[in-house]
Chains A and B, each alone.
Chain A
Amino acid sequence: MQLTIITDLNKCVGCKSCQVSCKEHNTAGAFGTVPDHDPYTEPDGMWWNRIVGMESGEYPNASVLYLPKACMHCYDAPCVPVCPTGASYKREDNGVVLVDYDSCIGCQLCMWACPYGVREFDEHEGVVKKCTMCIDRIEDDTLPDIERQPACVQSCPTHARTFGDLEDPESEVAKLVAQRQGFTLLPELGARPAVHYLPRRQAPVILDESEVLRIMEERY
């Protein structure tokens, strides 16, 4: 089993609901807090999920893309082997990569090792924190069903995010990845992320360009 979150970039509008709901749940959750520094002056805080926004191409063919970026729960998670204390580990039963704060020495080597820059350091507690796949929600059987999924998946207003087991071919995530050419980020670095993204797909123009040209030339 390998739990994962798939984000459909064809639907993500960059609203950052997932960024905030992550913090909202996790700051008071089992792996919290998710602290902020100087919250009312020059603020700088920890986020386990950040939505990067960027544009490319030239006017008027410019495109704009939003990319939610949290832990990829990599198969060959580079953050795990580098950790001297074993604080960073990948769960064998579900593939979730976690940090055991009690044995973490705060050396931050795992932050260097993570190709995606999703680990963040809590200076105050001296440990590294990151997305936990909301493991405390998923494994808490006292919660109603709808909450037994990551907060960021539950909140997403476009339902761009889907949660499930990548290795179960019947799961929605596996099907999405297969059917929609799901891809991972920076594959050349060999971390083999479990988290996938679905590419943009364009709905075609319904009429033939030549038809338009013909009409325009004839009549306008």
Chain B
Amino acid sequence: MAIENINDRTASPDGVSRIHTTCYMCACRCGIEVTVENDRIRFISGIPENPVNRGVWCAKGGAGIMTEYSPARLTTPLIRDPKAERGSGKFIPADWDTVLSLVEGWLREIRRTDPRQLAYFTGRDQMQAFNGFWAKQFGTPNWAAHGGFCSVNMAAGGMYSIGGSFWEFGWPDLEQARWFMMFGVAEDHPSNPLKLAIARLKDRGGRFVVVNPVRSGYGALADEWVPIRPGTDGAFIMALMHVLYREHLYDQEYLKRYTNAAALIEVLPGSSHDGMFIKSNDGDLLVALHSGSIVPLMEAAGQGVLEGSFIHEGKTVRPAFGVFLERLDSATPEWAERITGIPKKTIIRLAMEMGITAMRHPITLPVPWRDFYGVTHHETLGRPVAFHAMRGLAAHTNGFQTIRGLFDLMMMLGTVDVPGGFRYKSPYPKPIPPRVKPAPNRSDYQAGQAAKAPLLGYPTTPDDLLVDGDQPVRIDEAYSWKYPLAAHGVIQNVIRNAYSREPYGIDTLMIYMANVAWNSTWNTLTTRDMLQAKDDQGNYRIPHVVVIDAYDSETVAFADVVLPDTTYLERWDASSLQDRPISEPDGPADSIRQPVVSPPPGVRPAADVLIDLANRLQLPRFVDNGVQQFRDYYDFIQKWETEPGSGTGILAGRRGHEGTKTLVGEPNFQQLQAYATNKAFWSYELPDSMKYYRMANREYLSWATDAKFLASPDPIVLNFYSEVLQTFRLAGQGLWPGKSPTDPALRDRLATYFDPLPLWYPPLEDQIEANQDFPLTILTQRPMTHYHSWGSQNAWLRQLLHENPLFMNPKMAESLGLSDGQWVWIESRLGRMTATLRYSEAVDPSTVWTWNAIAKGPGSWGLDPSAPEATRAVLINHIIPDTIPLGYEGIWYNNDPITGQAGWYDAKVRVYSSDLHEVWPQVARRTPIHAGAVQTKRLAYSTRVSNAGNPRTGG
């Protein structure tokens, strides 16, 4: 879309205009106002009305100016120099038609023969609704975004427990909480909102407890820092529940009314019903009343008992909670102290603090609401204890179960969707789990056809898995027996699998917005080798690699074809309720991006290019009866509907022909313009009576059904107990009547880890013997000023951080004979690397850590090959094991056995003195693409016009 089409620029005579759009310097999606002066970006600031950032912006957001003018920008399509090897980074510039014809040729052939031969993986993608749709229409099962190496444990753990989770799914209500515990968060995506919220809590004098092996950032403000051994939070959480139960500091009422904790489970080991809920003829859960009679949960209206053992139709049945208590019994604070290193006394006190705050100091709002039992509550009761957690829990191979534990703890405290506790963000809550499933059979992915269902979703039984016997259908083994609930795909498995042609080889690997040859890969050097590897005939094992990127990343060097994308300030885009919206707890919201400046002439928006390809390939729904449906992404955003005529599309606001309809309505062809002139976002505030207890709130559930967030207004009963997991366990035990694995290793894994109730087990790395010699756990943290790899091209941000020492507790260092500032080897079972050591008292002695993704391959990212990022910064991904020797055959990734989440933070190392005083290992140098620009001596950015009439960039 050409820049002139924007009608809201109130360009004043002095050449200054202010344009509203959505930031993309990280995935937080703050609303920003961009002031443009003399065609250059003068200033980026937050939009005060925007529900996400409410006028503030972060360091990255403001520094967007320097990203726009970065010398790492890709400015033209590139084709690998036929004389050069893949990975060398030597390219020949080409025009769009040439590169698109080339890619079109590959894709056409794939689609004609076997669509699975295309693996399309998208990283930090904010148009997953579109990309997923594109891949589905192409017909390959092999699409996913980045969740596998990111935080699928958090997403899936929440979806399978409460039909929501943290981040864009839900949120701690720090406006009203009095007690707040945060697990394993360094920065996270609700970057500005979390800062705003923590500040509110601090202003109000609320207590803030941080559980983290490292204290920094938010942790600096904590009233109490609880250092914990990495990977042990599950045990800590279980012990908290143990104390809450013993001290009667838990919300029985809530458990009985809104969760399945009282629902009766059949106890019959060895049978296919074992651990399954017993149900009424209508399929309702059943509970036991005090009287001993057994009635449907809906009828009991919160009267079901939580403990005991009953006989129903000759079967022994027990409330789920009662079953859990057996496990809790041994989860004593003492037990947890041994595992976590947190003193028993601290565990008891923290449990009592949260329990007393929740149970003895509730808050009530004068807001009446009606629950799904039909009971009207005259007030809304809140338990002012809130939690937030992220990758400190998620990025371990026991993360899913730990997160399940956290949500069960929240249920015990009655803090899910209540004032002062956790609150959903629209369109959540969803049914548990959401009712979307990928098509499970190989035959669902036929040549020349679209896939039968969306490519990602939530299996509810083993029958939903994408397996052919024991064999995965997908290249990344998502939804296979190894990683059954891989709700976000398993991007980190793709390269090795494609290389080793297990489960099968592919023809084309298309990567959009992921730096998979560097910081989002593990065992990095080997992975890079695999991208370059050739077979016996001298052909690349992965025949074609297409990279769609805006900047000259390490991965770009491994492309055969590079499609240059615009920056976020140069394109139309949307943060959609179909994808990752900007909703806040008070109601749904979405936003758009619009071009603020024009892209370089050789650059096109990725989505436009994909639509171009779809049109060339005549993909269904892109081309109907020979008619192209979407001219470009601008067109797509406005026109596309979930189903033709559904009235639900990318953007929920300003729908209908007049732009007056909300949530559901016909497409509006002025919609983007309407957003553009209204500060680039839309939000809708729910009435007070619909803001809480939404899983059980009648009024809300029926509204949400009308809004098409839900398929029906059925109550959503929180899953204290996960029957879904039990079905997989049964499959592991050979008791499931449907799909089951035959390989004993696969069975064993299901039986062990698919526990329907939360449990703690040591991360997989801790279970292997080889790691006894590697006593320390190595972690990374996100710096607030950098977004993964892409901050380093930014002239301002990189000054703030361009080298990263290894932080270690001084007592540990001294016991190892190491001193501050020296060079050390860090060795894992995979290999070793160097770093400089820095003492820090703010880290647990069993842990060492450094900043994430600061190191760069020499010559990438528009940096001089001798830049500190290449010569002094270290990338610990080199030594993080990608696979794990579990004693079984085949490749087992270092992934969570339930979701396939990458176990980044399980890596074990030893640290010792190094004679080598430089960064090692190193990869080959490249010449930066705009080598001249990289040599700039002095940058004095200004938008003012000098006497010569040009904006000044300095002498």
A/B touching: CB–CB < 8 A = yes
A-to-B contact residues, CB < 8 Å: 10-17, 19-21, 23-25, 27-28, 32-45, 47, 55-60, 62-66, 124, 146-147, 151, 154-160, 202-207, 209, 212-213, 215-216, 219-220
| Given A13-B218, A206-B357, A42-B842 contact (CB < 8 Å) | no
Q: Would you call B796 and A28 a contact (CB within 8 A)? A: no
Expressed in whole angstroms, the Cα–Cα distance for A207 and B353 within the complex equals: 7
CA of A104 to CA of B349 in the docked complex: distance in angstroms?
A: 61
Whether the pair B195, A35 counts as a contact (CB closer than 8 A) is no
Interface contact B942-A17, CB-CB below 8 Å: no
B757 to chain A, nearest CB (A): 23
Asked if A28 contacts B42 (CB within 8 A), the reply is yes
Residues of A within 8 A of B195 (CB): 13, 15, 157-158
**How long is the Cα–Cα vector from A147 to B57 in the complex, in angstroms?**
14
Q: How far is the CA of A165 from the CA of B843 in the complex (A)?
A: 41
Q: Which 7 A-B pairs have the closest CB atoms?
A: A33-B940, A39-B795, A157-B195, A62-B841, A158-B199, A64-B220, A35-B940
From B219, B247, B867, contact of A215 by CB (8 A)? B247
Main SS of chain A's interface residues? loop
Question: What is the chain B residue whose CB lies nearest that of A22?
Answer: B62
Q: Is B731 part of the binding interface, using a Cβ–Cβ cutoff of 8 Å?
A: no
Q: Beyond A34-B940, A35-B939, A124-B955: 17 further Cβ-contacts under 8 Å?
A: A13-B218, A15-B58, A19-B59, A20-B60, A21-B62, A28-B944, A35-B940, A39-B939, A41-B935, A44-B799, A55-B842, A64-B216, A157-B191, A205-B207, A206-B353, A219-B246, A220-B333
**Contact among B65, B353, B938 for A124, CB-based, below 8 A:** B938
**Contact call A40/B46, Cβ cutoff below 8 A:** no
Q: B residues within 8 Å of A by Cβ?
A: 37, 42-46, 48, 53, 55-63, 65, 71, 179, 191-192, 195-196, 198-199, 202-203, 205-208, 215-221, 223-225, 227, 243, 246-247, 332-334, 344-345, 348-349, 352-353, 356-357, 784-785, 795-800, 802, 809, 811, 840-845, 862-864, 866-868, 928, 933-944, 952, 954-955
- CB A121 to nearest CB in B, in angstroms, measures 13
List 5 A-B pairs, Cβ < 8 Å: A24-B65, A40-B864, A58-B841, A66-B220, A220-B348
Question: Which B residues are in CB contact (< 8 Å) with A64?
Answer: 215-216, 219-220, 842
Partner of A59, one of B37, B227, B356, B867: B227
Knowing A14-B220, A62-B842 are in contact, say whether A43-B44 is a contact too (CB < 8 A).
Answer: no
Known contacts: A13-B198, A55-B842. The answer to whether A20 contacts B344 by CB under 8 A is no
Q: Cα distance A124–B936 when bound, in Å? A: 14
- Are A40 and B71 within 8 A (Cβ)? yes
Q: How far is the CA of A13 from the CA of B348 in the complex (A)?
A: 29
A101 CB to nearest chain B CB (Å): 14
Instruction: Find out whether the CB atom of B55 lies under 8 angstroms from the CB atom of A40.
Output: no
Considering residues B179, B221, B800, B845, which has the most beta carbons from chain A within 10 angstroms of its beta carbon? B221
In the complex, A207 Cα to B868 Cα: how many Å? 50
> Closest residue to A213 on the B side, CB-wise?
B345
Question: Are A154 and B59 in touch, CB under 8 angstroms?
Answer: no
Given the known inter-chain contacts A33-B940, A55-B841, please indicate yes or no for A203 contacting B63, CB distance below 8 A: no
Bound: A124/B841 CA distance, A: 41
Kindly state the separation between the CA atoms of A205 and B529 in the bound complex, as whole angstroms. 54
Q: Name the one of A11, A20, A35, A219 contacting B62, with C-beta atoms under 8 angstroms.
A: A20
Q: How far is the CA of A66 from the CA of B71 in the complex (A)?
A: 32
Contact of A15 (CB < 8 Å), options: B46, B179, B332, B785: B785
Nearest-CB residue, chain A, relative to B219: A64
Interchain CB contact under 8 A, B215 and A220: no
Query: What's the least CB distance linking B455 to chain A, in Å?
Result: 36
CA A35 to CA B217, docked complex, whole Å: 28
What's the least CB distance linking A169 to chain B, in Å?
22
* Cβ contact within 8 Å between B868 and A42: yes
Say yes or no: A41-B223 contact (C-beta < 8 A), given A16-B800, A27-B942, A220-B332: no
Inter-subunit contact B207/A203 (CB<8 Å): yes
**Quick check: B935 and A155 within 8 Å, CB to CB?**
no
Which of B59, B223, B357, B842 is close to A17, meaning CB atoms less than 8 Å apart?
B59
User: What CA separation (Å) do A13 and B785 show in the bound complex?
Assistant: 12
CB neighbours (8 Å) of B179 from chain A are 206
* B799 A203 Cβ-Cβ under 8 A: no
A202 & B217 in contact (Cβ 8 Å cutoff): no
Closest to A45 in B: B799
Q: Which of A33, A38, A155, A160 contacts B199 (CB 8 A)?
A: A160
Chain B, residue nearest A58 (CB): B841
With known contacts A40-B795, A55-B842, A157–B196 Cβ distance under 8 A: yes
Q: Please determine whether B220 and A65 come into contact, CB atoms closer than 8 angstroms.
A: yes
- Asked if B205 and A215 sit within 8 Å, CB to CB, the answer is no
A33 touching B57 by the CB < 8 A rule? no
Q: How far is the CA of A220 from the CA of B192 in the complex (A)?
A: 41
Residues B938 and A37 in contact, CB atoms below 8 Å apart: yes
**Cβ of B353 and Cβ of A205 under 8 Å apart?**
yes
A157 touches B56 (CB 8 A): yes
CB distance from A182 to the nearest CB of B (A): 16
Separation in Å of the B649 CB from the closest CB of chain A? Answer: 32
Given the known interface contacts A156-B56, A203-B208, the answer about A59 and B247 at a Cβ–Cβ threshold of 8 Å is: no
CB proximity of A64 to chain B, nearest CB, Å: 4
CB distance B59 to A15 under 8 Å? yes
- Decide: B954 and A155 in contact? CB cutoff 8 A: no
A11 touches B352 (CB 8 A): no
Are B334 and A33 neighbours in the complex by a CB distance under 8 Å?
A: no
Q: Which residues of A contact B56 (CB under 8 A)?
A: 17, 154-157, 159
The interface residues of chain A lying within 8 Å CB-to-CB of B344 are 216, 220
A203 and B62 form a contact (CB under 8 A): no
CB of B782, distance to nearest CB on chain A (Å): 11
B220–A36 CB distance below 8 A: no
Using A40-B863, A59-B845, A62-B215 as known contacts, say yes or no to A11 and B45 having CB atoms under 8 A apart. no
CB distance from B759 to the nearest CB of A (A): 21
Which residues of A sit under 8 angstroms from B864, Cβ to Cβ? 40-41
CB atoms of A21 and B57 under 8 A apart: yes
B215–A155 contact, CB under 8 A? no
* B397 CB to nearest A CB, Å: 26
User: In the complex the two chains form, what is the Cα distance from A25 to B45 in whole Å?
Assistant: 10
Question: Which of A20, A35, A212 makes the CB contact (< 8 A) with B938?
Answer: A35
Q: Do the beta carbons of B867 and A36 come within 8 Å of each other? A: no
A124 to B954, CA, bound (A): 9
